[in-house]
Amino acid sequence: MKSHILTITLNPTVDFCTTSQGIEAGPKLRCTEPQIDPGGGGINVARAVKLLGGQATALVAIGGATGAHLLQLLALEGVPTVAFQGPGETRQSMSVIEQTSGGQYRFVMPGPVWTEDDVPRALASVDQATGEDTLVVLSGSQPPGVAKDFPSILAEHVGDRQARLIVDTSGPALHHLVEEPREALHFLRMDGEEGEELAGRPLPTREDTAEFAESLVKKGVAKIVIVARGPDGSVLSSAEGSWHAVNPPVEVVSTVGAGDSFVGAFTLALAGSEPVEECLRWGVAAAAAAVMSDATRLCDRETTERLLAACTIEKL
């Protein structure tokens, strides 16, 4: 029996993606019809799970007409949702691709400011939606006003319900998790730049990355730590050892959504009780599938399964 997957998005967005012949200051820039998608880390993880043939429930903070639009977009994609009232109006974001150069310009809004009263409402919604052995995924940026220790507080709530917490975050929240571990996460993911920043040194080789990830496991930050290495795949470390997985080179169209696709595929495999090294292969294959797609597109099942067959894994 597969574990239930619940994703959490405190700072969702409605993503608009369009193209323009050229981008310059001054004149009006005529754009093409936009592609509109529901966005935010946890939402994209749930969408990736759906695209790969699984199901995850997206717990989302919403507000205003944009929040209603977001729920409509998720319903159209068949993603089950649990919505709770967040402060202000749900944000919008935009990416514009310059047709002449192929460059992508991303404009990301901060989102509404949260107060101390908003966080307990979010935690209460998580408590109600979390059952025993639920895989709870916290992914994406935190809204302005949410304290950096929110993931640690969430870990305590999830642990009280015998569920497992998966975190893919950045900035002060990530630093707090690493510097002051209070409740061991089940799985923590970060990209290579974040890993080097936390390590305080370059991590040029796979072995360097594994050594750093192993140090976080020994410190009690998480039972599983994954550090992405861009085109060189990802490294996973746990108490049982370290592994590296990588796909053959693929054509990179857009890196948007690669991390969320990784987390979605990894979590879906974990929900099916696959060994962690096999979950790693699924994550790497899904991330590679995502970078081959346009703009805000995520992985797709056919491409991910094809790439999985070519994905190699090595114990370090």
Kindly state the average pLDDT of the residues 93-98: 90
**pTM for this predicted structure:** 0.93
pLDDT of res. 180:
84
For residue 75 the two structure tokens come to 């319903």
pLDDT of res. 141:
83
pLDDT of res. 224:
95
pLDDT of res. 296:
67
For residue 149 the two structure tokens come to 């220790």
Within-domain flag for 12: no
Within-domain flag for 277: yes
Which DSSP symbol is given to 2?
P
Within-domain flag for 28: no
Kindly state the average pLDDT of the residues 189-215: 94
Q: Which domain holds residue 215?
A: 40-80+114-315
Within-domain flag for 8: no
Three-point CA angle 59, 62, 64, nearest 5°: 160
Within-domain flag for 285: yes
The residue among 192, 202, 215, 278 whose CA lies nearest residue 243 is 278
pLDDT of res. 3:
80
pLDDT of res. 68:
96
Alpha-carbon span 92 to 106, nearest angstrom? 12
Within-domain flag for 249: yes
For residue 270 the two structure tokens come to 């974990």
Within-domain flag for 136: yes
pLDDT of res. 114:
94
Spell 178-200 as b/e; 16+ CB within 10 A means b: beebebebbbbbbbbebbbebbe
pLDDT of res. 256:
77
Alpha-carbon span 238 to 222, nearest angstrom? 8
Residues 29-45: tens digit of each pLDDT: 999 999 899 999 999 99
Look at 63 and 256; give whichever has higher pLDDT: 63
- Provide the 10 A C-beta neighbour count for residue 237: 27
Q: Is 264 a residue whose pLDDT tops 70?
A: yes
Kindly state the average pLDDT of the residues 136-160: 90
Q: Residue 285 maps to which CATH number?
A: 3.40.1190.20
Structural element, H or E, at residue 118: helix 118-129
Catalytic residues: 260
Q: Is 111 a residue whose pLDDT tops 60?
A: yes
pLDDT of res. 104:
84
What is the largest distance, in Å, between two alpha-carbon atoms of the chain?
Answer: 58
The residue among 72, 68, 116, 67 whose CA lies nearest residue 91 is 67
pLDDT of res. 1:
56
Kindly state the average pLDDT of the residues 114-137: 91
Alpha-carbon span 298 to 261, nearest angstrom? 6
* Cα distance between the two ends of the chain: 31
Within-domain flag for 10: no
Residues 303-314: tens digit of each pLDDT: 999 999 999 999
Query: By three-state DSSP, how is residue 297 classified?
Result: coil
Q: Is 62 a residue whose pLDDT tops 70?
A: yes
Query: Total structural domains in the chain?
Result: 1
Q: If pLDDT is split at 50, 70 and 90, which confidence band does 295 have?
A: low
pLDDT of res. 249:
85
Alpha-carbon span 171 to 164, nearest angstrom? 22
Residue 284 and residue 263 in contact, taking contact as beta carbons nearer than 8 Å = no
